[in-house]
Amino acid sequence: MQHDEAQSPVSFAAHVARLPQAGLPVVIEADEAQRAALAEAHGLLSVEVYRAELLVSRWKRNGVKVSGSVKADITQACVVTLDPVTAHIEEAVDGLFLPQDSNFGREGFSGGGEILIDAEGPDAPETFIGDTVDVGALAEQFFGLAIDPYPRRAGAHLETKADDEDKEESEFQRKLRALLPKN
């Protein structure tokens, strides 16, 4: 698989030219250096555990299907207090790949026809070159999507200008009541 992107810290090239009938099981257990690189790449304080369990199998005629899950324990900074917030990620991994020269994946794009997109449906297949697919990079993509973009420590509250305005309003209302004649 060729991309202009930097290689994933958990990159794993699965050879797909001759996949077993039952599929090729792949387990990626990130070591300390890989976890540190994942933390840096995703803006995390740390990644304590990262494990992807995948099955690479044939799909259609020349395609490849990758399914499984990625599990991780991470620590992020609270968006309010910057205190550490721990989280557990358990995300399903599901991807389809076609050889770059496959007509099946490009029919709708080059033919000028209509393309129907179902937001809830499966993603369009990605392409690969040669006889390997980077299943580690795919698992990392699903890991990244599962990270909470706004982690918050329990009970953390961000005072906003609106909160201050509400307090000022209450004070104003109290003074106004004091000025009104009492019945």
Query: What is the C-alpha separation between 78 and 36, in angstroms, rounded?
Result: 19
In a domain, 8, yes or no: no
Report the pLDDT value the prediction gives residue 1, as an integer from 0 to 100: 42
Buried-state track 90-117, b at ≥16 Cβ within 10 A, e below 16 = ebebebbbbbeebeebeeeeeeeeeeee
Query: What is the C-alpha separation between 145 and 142, in angstroms, rounded?
Result: 5
- Say what the pTM is: 0.74
Query: What is the C-alpha separation between 12 and 139, in angstroms, rounded?
Result: 10
Render pLDDT for 119-166 as a digit per residue (tens, 0 to 9).
666 677 888 888 899 999 999 999 999 999 999 888 777 666 655 555
- Domain span at residue 94? 13-156
In a domain, 122, yes or no: yes
In a domain, 38, yes or no: yes
In a domain, 23, yes or no: yes
In a domain, 45, yes or no: yes
Render pLDDT for 72-106 as a digit per residue (tens, 0 to 9).
999 999 988 889 999 999 999 999 999 887 766 55
In a domain, 3, yes or no: no
In a domain, 174, yes or no: no
In a domain, 105, yes or no: yes
Length of the chain: 183
The tally of domains found in the chain comes to 1
